[in-house]
Homo-oligomer: A and B are copies of this chain.
Amino acid sequence: MVGTAPATRRTAQKEAVWQALESSPGFVSAQDLHQQLVAAGASVGLATVYRQLAALAAEGRADTIPDAGGLLYRVCAPGGHHHHLVCESCGRAVEIQPPLEDWIRQTAQDSGYTITRHVLEVFGTCPQCAAR
């Protein structure tokens, strides 16, 4: 055990999980994602979804927030960090730019904490759905 090779294979399931996660507007549970994949005709096991999601989160490519009775996952934009305002009725989302960055730096100094990450989700009803 002197030279340890990277060893990370590229498989269809891996891609499928990643894409399914990417195409989801907000946060999704592992189980939802699994059902979504199966419904889409992909052959993926539930355990694999969990494993991939965990790996993705460990790599920092995915964000996870714990939710009552389960964890929720979401893609984490590489380099750029942005949030969305999601319509609870139709799912349509607009990109938003909350003034958090400055405030976070400020808060970090005030509290002495080293802030590593944050999650912001804003939910509401879009004009079209509100009009109906």
Chain B contacts of A104 at CB under 8 A?
122
Most interface-central of A120, A121, A124 (chain B CB within 10 A): A124
Q: Which of A15-23, A33-41, A111-119 contacts B (4 or more CB under 8 A)?
A: A111-119
Interchain CB contact under 8 A, B118 and A121: yes
In the complex this chain forms, how many copies of it are found?
2
A42 at the interface (CB under 8 A from B): no
Instruction: Please list the residues of chain A having a beta carbon within 8 angstroms of any beta carbon in chain B.
Output: 65-69, 71, 85, 87-88, 94, 96, 98-100, 103-104, 107-108, 111-127, 130
Q: List 23 A-B contacts (CB under 8 A).
A: A65-B119, A66-B67, A87-B113, A94-B111, A94-B113, A96-B107, A96-B111, A98-B103, A98-B107, A99-B99, A99-B103, A107-B122, A112-B126, A113-B126, A113-B130, A114-B130, A115-B122, A115-B123, A115-B124, A116-B123, A116-B125, A117-B122, A118-B120
